Structure 1
Amino acid sequence: MTGGARVAVVTGGANGIGLACVRRLSDDGFTVVVADTDAEAGVRVTAEIPRAEFVACDVRVRQDIDRVAGTALEIGRGRLHALVNNAGQTARVRFADSDETTWRRLDVVNLHSVFSFTHACLAGLTAGRGSVVSVASVAGLVGAEDLSAYSSTKAGIIALTRSLALEHGEVIRFDAVCPGQIATRMMARVQTDDDLRTAVAAQIPAGRLGRPEEVADVVAWLLSDGAGYVNGVAIAVDGGESAGFRRLKPGVALHDHTPAR
């Protein structure tokens, strides 16, 4: 990625991990097209972050996706250098109690949007010899109780990432990051409940929740020339949580929580 303005698209870029990615990529010199449904947050992003361009987008709507891609390609004069597929939702429900509506919603928002955005941006990424990083989850690397729908979509992102690396790896790199327990609004309950936060932290070798910026650092590296020979991988950013099972500490009980970003 050398010469001229570098253009990136970040979906779900107005909050959480997506916002941290926008900040980091802007610091790295990218012009960042921010796609999100949160128009109020999008306006703040545009005002506060240099070279950030907000485009209101519902990732369930192909016309919105095409508008985002068109904006990015116009800025980049037909070239796109980076795509971060970050938009996502979660739902905690036991499989027996789940329904078609929940499964279809998560499939469209989490997995199908990765297909749609990548498909819409493919020609620009090819012209720009760009890179794609999709945000999966540790719940896509292992099973997750009460998260069968969410876990399935995140595992699908990892499989799609690897398949795309095989098909397009000579020109475009495709990788995934798998966040663990990251301090975003998806983890609001864990952050505000001292007992629950202690129980969750006890299962993480790092002993704490991660920060969105720590995920963004890995995303930025994967998009950089320094990762030029990294393709088709899924990197856990989870403080060691997915390394294996830890012995429960005395007096610590596990509570329901969402191992997600």
Structure 2
Amino acid sequence: MDDRARVAVVTGGANGIGLACAQRLSGDGFHVVVADFDAEAGPQVTAKVPGAEFVPCDVRSPTDVRRVVDRALEIGQGRLHALVNNAGQTARVRFADCDEATWQRLHDVNLRSVFSFTQACLEGLTAGHGAVVSVASVAGLVGAEDLSVYSATKAAIIALTRSLALELGHVIRFNAVCPGQIATRMMARVQADAGLRAVVTAQIPAARLGRPEEVANVIAWLLGDEASYVNGVAIPIDGGESAGFRQPKPSGTTGERVSPGKAP
């Protein structure tokens, strides 16, 4: 490996935000190790991400986590420069109806994976003066009806990120991003239903769903030198949705903004 090359690990990198992040980091000169549960997606990922290496991984498995990190350390000759904790799942279920298996699955995939990968990467990130970005959610900043368990795991990621910045911020930077309504597989139902999409986007000042690459751009910035003094933050990437309450629009209106000086 070129001694100047930087190594990044991206979990959940086979699609959506993870894939967009892997593509962006590859374009920025990182050698990207992509970890994902979908083993069959490997050839597609390496075709879309130049120079990437795909390692099948169940983020709930300590053995799989160790295999991914060991491979990244081998490529980086003991140094790691970036970790993106992106692996995640959701479950839309009312709290009263949530069983323990669902709670445990979301805890293991969303939160425990952040613990496992971050801890396994600490030595390499210290050697490489690296940075960590964990993908939380706006649902971790505010409550979300029928998503209480998901929200709890994402809020924990934010708290963990801030605590790690306090403990280890002198050698590794830790930050989180909090995506809102992003056009990924998790939002397939919204994207396929025009009526539902209109309801969802009516609550977003930007009046649209976000794109995975828009999240990846912020992650890449947080991992780069331009954000060298940014540590312990959780940045919403939600088109303004978490800024506050919006006034409901009358039925039949589009909610189009009116420019100053322009008559409605």
TM-score, normalising length: structure 2: 0.94
Q: Provide the residue aligned with 2:262 in structure 1.
A: none
Show CA shifts across 1:150-205 (max 9, x none). 00000000000000000110110000000000000100010010000011010000
Over aligned residue pairs, what C-alpha RMSD do you find? 0.8
Q: Provide the residue aligned with 1:32 in structure 2.
A: 32
Does the aligned pair in 1 maintain the 2:178–2:238 contact within 8 Å?
A: yes
Amino acid of the residue matched to residue 223 of structure 2?
A: L
Q: 1:43 Cα shift?
A: 1.6
Q: 1:73 Cα shift?
A: 0.2
Does the aligned pair in 1 maintain the 2:140–2:178 contact within 8 Å?
A: yes
Q: Provide the residue aligned with 2:115 in structure 1.
A: 115
Q: Point out where structure 1 has 5 or more consecutive residues left out of the alignment.
A: 253-261
Alignment of 1:230-245 (within 5 A): 230-245=230-245
Show CA shifts across 1:47-81 (max 9, x none). 23211000000000000000000000000000000
Amino acid of the residue matched to residue 104 of structure 2?
A: R
> SS at 1:54's partner residue?
strand
Q: Say whether residues 1:186 and 2:186 are aligned partners.
A: yes
Does the aligned pair in 1 maintain the 2:8–2:83 contact within 8 Å?
A: yes
| Percent of residue pairs bearing the same amino acid type | 78
- Distance in structure 1 (CA, Å) of the matches to 2:152 and 2:187: 20
Q: Provide the residue aligned with 1:255 in structure 2.
A: none
Q: Point out where structure 2 has 5 or more consecutive residues left out of the alignment.
A: 253-264
Q: Say whether residues 1:7 and 2:12 are aligned partners.
A: no
- Distance in structure 1 (CA, Å) of the matches to 2:87 and 2:29: 22
Q: Provide the residue aligned with 1:84 in structure 2.
A: 84
- Distance in structure 2 (CA, Å) of the matches to 1:119 and 1:203: 38
TM-score, normalising length: structure 1: 0.95
- Distance in structure 2 (CA, Å) of the matches to 1:110 and 1:198: 29
Show CA shifts across 1:112-170 (max 9, x none). 00000001111000000100000000000001111110000000000000000001101
Q: After the TM superposition, which parts of structure 1 deviate over 2 Å for at least 4 consecutive aligned residues? A: none
Amino acid of the residue matched to residue 41 of structure 2?
A: A
Q: Provide the residue aligned with 2:126 in structure 1.
A: 126
- Distance in structure 1 (CA, Å) of the matches to 2:166 and 2:48: 38
> SS at 2:107's partner residue?
helix
Q: Say whether residues 1:222 and 2:222 are aligned partners.
A: yes
- Distance in structure 2 (CA, Å) of the matches to 1:42 and 1:163: 34
> SS at 2:14's partner residue?
coil
Higher-Rg member (1/2): 2
Amino acid of the residue matched to residue 84 of structure 2?
A: V
- Distance in structure 2 (CA, Å) of the matches to 1:49 and 1:27: 8
